[in-house]
Structure 1
Amino acid sequence: MKSLLDSDSTYAAIDVRERGEFNKRQIFRTTCVPRRDLESLMSRLVPVKSTAIVVCDEDDGRASLAAHTLEQMGYTDISMLQGGLGAWTQAGYELGEGTNAPSKDFGEKILVQKHVPEMTIQEYQHRVSLGEEFILIDTRTPEEFERATLPGSRNIPNGELVLRIAEVIGDSDSTVVVHCGGRTRSIIGTQILLEMNLPNTLVGLQNGTMGWLLAGYELETGRQPQPLPLPSSDRVAFAETFARKLTEEHRITHLSAAELRDLVDKGEHETLYLVDVRTAEEYEQGHIPNFTWFPGGQTLQRTDEIMAVRTGKIVLACDGIVRSAVVARWIKEMDFPNIYVLDGGVRAWEATGQTLEQGWPRMVPRGLIEARETVSLMSSSTLESRLETPDAPLVVDLETSSDFTQGHISGAVWIPRGWLELRIKDSASIGDAPIVLTCRTGEVSMLAWAGLRDMGYTNVEVLEGGKLGWSAAGFVLETGTRSIPVEPNDVVIHPLGDKGRMEYYLTWEEALGRKYESDG
Structure 2
Amino acid sequence: MTAEEVRALLLRRSEVVIADVREEAAFATGHPLWAASFPLSRLELDAWRRIPRRDTPIAVYGDGVARAIGVLRGLGYTRVHELAGGLDAWTASGGEIFQDVNAPSKAFGELVASVAGTPSLTAQDVKALIDAGLPNPVAALRDGTIGWTLAGQRLDRGATRTAPLSVTPPHHALAASGARAVAERAGVTFVRARDLPDLRRPDRTTYIFDVRTAAEYARGHLDGARHAPGGQLVQETDHHAPVRGARIVVVDDDGVRAAMTGSWLAQMGWEVYAVSPAELLTRPGAEPSLHPAPPPVDTVDAATLRAWLADGSATVIDVGPSRDYAAGHIPGAWYAARALLPAALATIGAARRYVLTSPTGLLARFATADLRHRAPAFALEGGTAAWRFPLETAEARYAVPPADRYRRPYEGTDNPREAMEAYLEWEFGLVEQLERDGTHHFQVLGHVPALSRYNLPFG
Q: TM-score, normalised by structure 1?
A: 0.75
> Which residue in 2 is equivalent to 1:407?
328
Q: Is the 8 A contact 1:15 1:55 kept in 2?
A: yes
Query: Quick one: percent identity of the two aligned structures?
Result: 31
Residue 490, structure 1, aligned to residue 404, structure 2 = yes
Amino acid at match of 1:469: A
1:511 to 429, 435, 441: 429
1:457 to 354, 367, 374: 374
- 1:222, CA displacement in angstroms? 4.7
- 1:102, CA displacement in angstroms? 0.5
Residue 251, structure 1, aligned to residue 187, structure 2 = yes
Pairwise CA RMSD of aligned residues? 2.9
Residue 54, structure 1, aligned to residue 59, structure 2 = yes
CA distance, structure 2, for counterparts of residue 460 and residue 291 of structure 1:
38
- 1:504, CA displacement in angstroms? 2.5
CA distance, structure 2, for counterparts of residue 13 and residue 491 of structure 1:
19
- 1:53, CA displacement in angstroms? 0.9
Amino acid at match of 1:492: Y
Q: Is the 8 A contact 1:113 1:516 kept in 2?
A: no
> Which residue in 2 is equivalent to 1:45?
50
Uncovered stretches (5+) of structure 2, i.e. residues with no partner: 439-445, 447-459
Larger RCO of the pair (alpha carbons < 8 Å, separation 6+): 2
1:84 to 53, 72, 86: 86
Residue 11, structure 1, aligned to residue 16, structure 2 = yes
CA distance, structure 2, for counterparts of residue 126 and residue 476 of structure 1:
44
CA distance, structure 1, for counterparts of residue 230 and residue 215 of structure 2:
14
Amino acid at match of 2:60: V
> Which residue in 2 is equivalent to 1:436?
355
Q: Is the 8 A contact 2:336 2:399 kept in 1?
A: no
Secondary structure of the residue aligned to 2:277 is helix
CA distance, structure 2, for counterparts of residue 475 and residue 21 of structure 1:
33
2:165 to 208, 229, 237: 229
2:300 to 370, 374, 378: 378
1:208 to 125, 135, 144: 144
Q: Is the 8 A contact 1:39 1:367 kept in 2?
A: no
Deviation sequence 1:473-492 (CA, Å, 0-9, x none)? x25445443x2255433322
Deviation sequence 1:297-334 (CA, Å, 0-9, x none)? 11111110111112211111111322111111111111
CA distance, structure 2, for counterparts of residue 413 and residue 280 of structure 1:
34
1:317 to 251, 257, 263: 251
Q: Which piece of structure 1 moves more, 498-507 or 254-263?
A: 498-507
CA distance, structure 1, for counterparts of residue 91 and residue 347 of structure 2:
30
Q: Is the 8 A contact 2:368 2:377 kept in 1?
A: yes
CA distance, structure 2, for counterparts of residue 339 and residue 401 of structure 1:
36
Change (3 A) 1:225 1:477: closer
What are the residue-to-residue correspondences of 1:10-409 with 2, within 5 Å? 10-57=15-62, 60=63, 62-89=64-91, 93-124=95-126, 133-135=132-134, 174=135, 176=137, 202-225=138-161, 227-264=163-200, 266=201, 268-336=202-270, 338-342=271-275, 345-347=276-278, 350=279, 354=280, 356-368=282-294, 371=295, 374-389=296-311, 392-409=313-330
Deviation sequence 1:45-103 (CA, Å, 0-9, x none)? 1101111111111xx3x222222221221111111223433454466643211121110
Uncovered stretches (5+) of structure 1, i.e. residues with no partner: 136-173, 177-201
Amino acid at match of 2:68: A
CA distance, structure 1, for counterparts of residue 38 and residue 73 of structure 2:
15
Change (3 A) 1:77 1:221: closer
- 1:424, CA displacement in angstroms? 4.3
Deviation sequence 1:242-275 (CA, Å, 0-9, x none)? 12322332332121111113334x3x54311000
CA distance, structure 1, for counterparts of residue 130 and residue 217 of structure 2:
38
Secondary structure of the residue aligned to 2:398 is coil
Change (3 A) 1:346 1:85: same
> Which residue in 2 is equivalent to 1:143?
none
CA distance, structure 1, for counterparts of residue 171 and residue 225 of structure 2:
27
- 1:512, CA displacement in angstroms? 1.7
Change (3 A) 1:517 1:114: farther
Q: Is the 8 A contact 1:100 1:303 kept in 2?
A: yes
Q: Is the 8 A contact 2:297 2:379 kept in 1?
A: yes
> Which residue in 1 is equivalent to 2:455?
none
Secondary structure of the residue aligned to 1:39 is helix
- 1:463, CA displacement in angstroms? 1.3
CA distance, structure 2, for counterparts of residue 77 and residue 324 of structure 1:
32
Q: Is the 8 A contact 1:253 1:339 kept in 2?
A: yes
Amino acid at match of 1:398: V
Q: TM-score, normalised by structure 2?
A: 0.84
CA distance, structure 2, for counterparts of residue 127 and residue 70 of structure 1:
52
Q: Is the 8 A contact 2:107 2:434 kept in 1?
A: no
Deviation sequence 1:195-227 (CA, Å, 0-9, x none)? xxxxxxx42221233322211222344554254
Q: Which piece of structure 1 moves more, 412-421 or 295-304?
A: 412-421
